Amino acid sequence: MLYNYKIVAAVLLTVGLILFLAGFTMETENYNALSTEEENVIVHKGTEPPFSGKYNDFYETGSYHCKRCNARLYSSADKFQTTCGWPSFDDEIAGAIKKQIDADGFRTEMVCANCGAHLGHVFVGERLTEKNVRHCVNSISLVFVPGKDVTKMKKAYFAGGCFWGVEYYFEQKVGVVSATSGYMGGSMDDPSYHEVCTGKTGHLEVVEVAYDAAKVSYEELAKFFFEIHDPTQANGQGPDIGSQYLSAVFYLNDAEEKIAHKLINILETKGYDIATKVISTQTFWPAEDYHQDYYDRKNQQPYCHAYEKKF
């Protein structure tokens, strides 16, 4: 009898393994088939030789999609010419790219947010465009789809205390596609919430606002930002005290910087003693999943943010 139980157990184990492998196949079979060369880059995180990719010197109008899952990643409007040897972009489609520390410990790797396909690396501070960002992408990770009408989304970055409340209000704003809580302004790559809360990393709690410029302007968003928090509080926001809760506008270009200063001047002529800092954009690090859409998930209202018309 003991021997029979062993046989039954072995059979059940084998069946379970078969079902597991079948399930794994079913999950992955929706991805596009890859050649050995494509798999080396997209799955095993290799790099194609410089100047060898089909999209390196390619500037037609359209959009660039993930070779593995077809997710839309980049607009041709954000592609620019460099001599690095790989396609370069200074922005991505909102929510399409996930950034993480590379295995080498110091570069920032980019992967497709939908399927995890390796795309390349992102570099900041080279001053090649106004946005001061370069997404260095392997051509082999991309598929180009031509088209005349390419939707161009823009992004803006605001810090106004706890990012839960700032995110909540921006997601209600007409023209905003998405709002993402995260961190910006510090000296440490990919910080955790716990590390930011120590006040030692230099990061602020920041919200990345992806918006349709055809429906809402940057100036409208900046005005809204000043109206959903107290820009006169110098040590935090409401009961949240600390350097990570300070008020700041992170600008991407000269035009945004001028708009921020213009609005601050207007508020100061109205009697507001503005504490908001105006700072050049740095790398944005998305916060942990449990911080995203916090008030919606909790079915609550912000406790330290409220709308007050100021303009």
- In DSSP notation, 224-236 reads HHHHSS-TT-SSE
Q: What CA–CA distance (Å, rounded) separates 280 from 80?
A: 21
Phi, psi of 40 (to 5 degrees): -60, -35
Classify residue 292 by its DSSP letter. Answer: T
* Residue 227 one-letter amino acid: E
Q: What CA–CA distance (Å, rounded) separates 152 from 93?
A: 8
Q: Which of 115, 136, 197, 304 is catalytic?
A: 136
- In DSSP notation, 111-147 reads EETTT--EEEEEEES--SSTT-EEEEE-GGGEEEEE-
| Token output for 290 | 């449990």
Per-residue b/e over 17-56, b at no fewer than 16 CB within 10 Å?
Answer: eeeeeeeeeeeeeebeebeeebebbbeebeebeeeebebb
Q: Are 130 and 136 in contact, with CB atoms under 8 Å apart?
A: no
136 is catalytic: yes
Question: What does each C-alpha distance from 264 to 79, 188, 216, 227 come to in angstroms?
Answer: 33, 29, 20, 12
Q: Which of 69, 84, 112, 162 is catalytic?
A: 162
List active site positions.
Answer: 136, 162
